[in-house]
Structure 1
């Protein structure tokens, strides 16, 4: 089987890597993290102009990609650079839900980079269960509470899940809708989220429900695993460089056998992680999707924790300073395991799906 990228995907990867290498420095990211918005509108617009957002959608939806490997290419580079802008939540999840709902005009705005979205589905006590929805929809009015809604403060519209006659349905809510309260806060891994309260808030029915949420979550898991892979590659590269330059007893510490063996173990685990991402992307459109995604998410979570811990330990105290690249990257790797199901959740899910 040929695992090499197509010419179009290779060009996209090269373009995105060059841009982020030039523009997305550690100092730039720290400035973004310190801002009230928690994201850069300039970076978002420029990446949209480069066609990055279009790669997240199929041709029928107005894009030029949308397949598992397209998502993997984009999000691996975003993870490699530690990008904190909400491409996963706003563009991929929000945009693809609008595409499923047939809102083509809004999807065009998402691809152009002029429309920000937030997906308000998770609720307090819901953990990772997608069918845990207690928000109620009555007569087009929504009442309930949503937790950890990514990009809610910057969003022009929120896509909110609610129970309507015992069925989970999705509604489009304007950011200025009456009864909508958004309480934002910064996240450890970068970006911002919010607790969202709805009190009789009007919503426009999108005529899609739980199946759409499950499909877009599958896309998000592929993107999340690829993003984490990119972050792990950066953490490993930083550690390798550090071991080659930091000297002790007159020679680089990377020449000491104990550290060399630990570094070799990281490189082996990194290759396993890459195989898991390829597997997840390749099976995205098949009947084995859910089983494969759980296997991949579990492995990425376990390897990610190992890479983050080993990278920090081999760096020493410098790894904990905000001015050094690894500090942010390690946080991203560890916190990624807590989105869309952690290692324990996906191990149990894999077992359940295997015996079903």
Structure 2
């Protein structure tokens, strides 16, 4: 199997790496976080100018027609730099829901704005009781004349405080726990009855609690089957996990790089601490964990477009298990080898470790996905 990047993929990698190297060192990232929106609008526009916001969308929808490998390249670079812009929220999550559920007319109306970076969307999916299972969604969508009325609350909506609109999952029929009866709706952020409360998350990102009180949407705002969105939701989650795996590997790579440099520079008893064999062994173990994670990142990217939902979910779960375990081991080792400075917010390692922890928890941690993998009989059975 050929793992070499094509000429176009290499160009994407070089372009995004060059941009982030010049505009996204640790100090600049902290300034971006302190901006009113929690990220830099100038950097977001630079992403759009490079075509990154258009990457996964077809040319008919105003995009570049990239696939999971191209997304992997971009997300890995974002992980190294600890990017705080709403790429996952708008392009991967909300954009993915539109790609898979919206009609051609809806995509033509909404996606060009997302692809150009002018429109930022957020996926309002999970609620306080759902944990990692979207079948437990309780928010109701009630038929109201020619349209629908949405009532309920959504929790931890990534970058929901600055989104121009939402893709909302709500229940048309059935009870929480049923996989049927779920629909997806496009709701502009300025719709009457919609309220939101934004806040910073532990890893430097932004999220919001979003309330829907008799929010009216039209039939044209329904994305696909109003009672058959569950398979689409699972597919979007799988693609998001594949993207997060790539981001995690980029972050792990940076932690290994920083730790190796620290071991060479920090001196104890008149010599660099990297000369102590025990620390060399730990650094080698960090590198092995990184390469194990990298191989599963590639596996997740190659499996993200698998049409068989069972096989796709097994592959994605297997990748999430390894990514979670490698991220925790590398993060803990990096902090331990750095000593006290490794847990200070003035140093980059601590921020990477926080982001690794949040990535592990997103859409189910390693233990959750290990249980899913066991229930399915493992990769071979899937």
- The TM tier, using the shorter chain, reads over 0.9
Using the size of structure 1 for normalisation, the TM-score is 0.97
Aligned ranges for residues 202-213 of structure 1 at < 5 Å?
202-203=216-217, 204-208=221-225, 209-213=229-233
After the TM superposition, which residues 79-118 of structure 1 pair with which residues of structure 2 at under 5 Å, given as runs?
79-100=79-100, 101-102=102-103, 103-118=107-122
- 1:156 and 1:285 map into 2 onto residues whose CA distance is 28
Query: Quick check: 241-250 or 278-287, which moved more?
Result: 278-287
- Partner residue, 1:168: 182
Q: What is the CA deviation profile of residues 22-61 of structure 1, one whole-angstrom value per residue up to 9, with x for unaligned ones? A: 1012111112222331111111011110111122224454
1:324 partnered with 2:317: no
Residue number in structure 2 paired with 1:144: 152
Structure 1 240/130 Cα, relative in aligned 2: closer, same or farther at 3 Å?
Answer: same
Structure 1 residue 193 and structure 2 residue 216: aligned?
no
2: CA distance, partners of 1:244 / 1:105: 55
Write the deviation string for residues 300-319 of structure 1: whole angstroms up to 9, x where unpaired.
00110001000011011222
Structure 2: distance between partners of 1:173 and 1:261: 53
Q: How has the CA–CA distance of structure 1 residues 272 and 21 changed in structure 2, closer, same or farther, with 3 Å as cutoff?
A: same
Aligned-partner SS, 1:233: helix
Q: Are the counterparts in 1 of residues 168 and 184 from structure 2 also a CA contact under 8 Å?
A: yes
Residues 12, 70 of structure 2: 8 Å contact kept:
no
1:337 aligned onto 2:360: yes
The 2-side partners of 1:65 and 1:20 are apart by 23
Equivalent residue runs for 1:209-288 within 5 Å? 209-286=229-306, 287=308, 288=311
Superposed CA RMSD: 1.4
Match of 1:10 in 2: 10
Residue 309 of structure 1: aligned partner: 332
Is the CA contact (8 Å cut-off) linking 1:235 and 1:329 kept in structure 2? Answer: yes
Per the alignment, residue 28 of structure 2 pairs with 28
Count how many residue pairs are aligned between Structure 1 and Structure 2: 356
* CA distance in structure 1 between the aligned counterparts of 2:22 and 2:312, rounded to whole angstroms: 36
> Displaced runs of 4+ in structure 1, greater than 6 A?
none
TM-score by length of 2: 0.90
Residues in 2 aligned to 1:57 and 1:352: alpha-carbon distance in whole angstroms: 34
Distance in 2 (CA, whole Å) between partners of 1:282 and 1:247 is 43
